DNA sequence: CGCGCTGAGTTCGCTTGACGAACTCACTCG
DNA sequence: CGAGTGAGTTCGTCAAGCGAACTCAGCGCG
């Protein structure tokens, strides 16, 4: 009766969502990627309640995705801004994937509200699913999931979802 | 004062999260990719309250990511199971990206709890950020975001975040 | 020096959402 | 007919999100 015999509690998707799955967290990171770093700018651009935003920023700093960097604007006292760490930067593909899906399925007016270009050559950037042998996969159907712990005996689902 | 001059309200990340950003939604999809299709199985495997699970499934069906398919197991009445549509299947890269991040930053015991293999050649599967010219990018730093609407005048952030 | 301004929170009621247990309903099998 | 089961629904409780109001520190200005 146990499905495909592996431990969901240590699933990496669930773990990642425990870190960035709360409301506003991924949007804060999107803004960080766009260069918005100050509390007031984040608050204005996102429209999130200040209390929630404070909490999300604290969580993201505590988890090591953002770090607080002191700065000093002219005519102002010292404050700190929020910058992405490597750990935060590495979430970029996830945001790109979510954005790509939204571009495809949610845009009435035909085109993506934000395009991504290769800094060096200017060409459009997208995500690709590839294997170590260099093949490009067309989607989920080409992937076979294998649990790290060998399935005890039951094998309900052998792999990717059928049509 | 306006950051990088584009309309956040139509951001594709926000739009996508409005569809799958609620608690449990992405985990339901993860299970769907693993082949779990029946309500009871989802409920047992995820541990989500039935009421919440019902609501998420209804939302995902209404949004066209899942569809209800009637089936008839032996000795049971007719029921329906939940299957991914193309729209749902296309969210796969997002789940892979979240999983990859979790594998990298959340696993103490070294390795990923679930591996992905190319169905044809058996090699490990991963996501790559590539441009239309064929270059493989190393990360967010290699990307320059360009709003579809030309920035009116202000240009606060010219591109990817500095270190 | 005292005053008002501003960015960054914090506090406070209120509403929404998640939770787990109990209840319902429709069938099917014995 | 009666027990069993999958798929919900209902309910009371508790946590989270919300907007508005309040606080606090440091700065420029007079």
pLDDT tens, position by position, for chain B (163 residues)? Answer: 444 567 777 899 999 999 999 999 999 999 999 999 999 999 999 999 999 999 999 999 999 999 999 988 777 788 899 999 999 999 999 999 999 999 999 987 767 899 999 999 999 999 999 999 999 999 999 999 999 875 454 444 444 444 4
Q: What is the CATH number that goes with domain B8-142? A: 1.10.10.10
Nucleotide nearest A25, CA–C1', reads D17
- Is the CB of B50 within 7 Å of strand C? yes
A22-67 pLDDT per residue, tens: 999 999 999 999 999 999 999 999 999 999 999 999 999 999 999 9
Q: Does the domain made of A1-89 have the CATH classification 1.10.10.10?
A: yes
Q: Is A32 exposed, middle or buried (0-12, 13-18, 19+ CB in 10 A)?
A: buried
The answer to whether strand C lies under 7 Å from the CB of residue B27 is no
What burial letters (b/e) apply to B17-52, b meaning 16+ CB within 10 Å?
Answer: bebbbbebbbbbbbbbbbbbbebebbeebbebeeee
Contact between B147 and A11 using a beta-carbon 8 Å cutoff: no
CB contact residues (below 8 A), chain A span 23-42, against chain B = 23, 26-27, 30-37, 41
Query: Which residues of chain A lie closer than 8 angstroms to B33, CB-CB?
Result: 140, 145, 160-161
Token digits of residue B106 = 């959340």
């Amino acid at each position: 009766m146990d499905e495909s015999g592996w431990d969901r509690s240590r699933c990496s998707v669930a773990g990642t969502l425990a870190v960035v799955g709360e409301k506003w967290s991924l949007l804060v990171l999107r803004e960080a990627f766009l260069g918005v770093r100050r509390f007031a700018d984040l608050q204005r651009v996102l429209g999130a309640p200040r209390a929630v935003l404070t909490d999300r920023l604290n969580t993201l700093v505590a988890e090591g995705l953002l770090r607080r960097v002191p700065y000093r604007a002219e005519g102002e006292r010292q404050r700190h801004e929020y910058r992405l760490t490597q750990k935060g930067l590495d979430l970029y593909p996830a945001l790109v994937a979510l954005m790509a899906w939204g571009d495809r399925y949610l845009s009435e007016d035909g085109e993506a509200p934000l395009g991504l270009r290769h800094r060096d050559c200017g060409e459009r950037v997208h995500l690709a699913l590839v294997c170590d042998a260099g093949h490009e996969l067309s989607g989920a159907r080409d992937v076979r999931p294998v649990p790290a712990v060998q399935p005890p005996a039951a094998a309900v689902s052998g792999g990717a979802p059928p049509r």
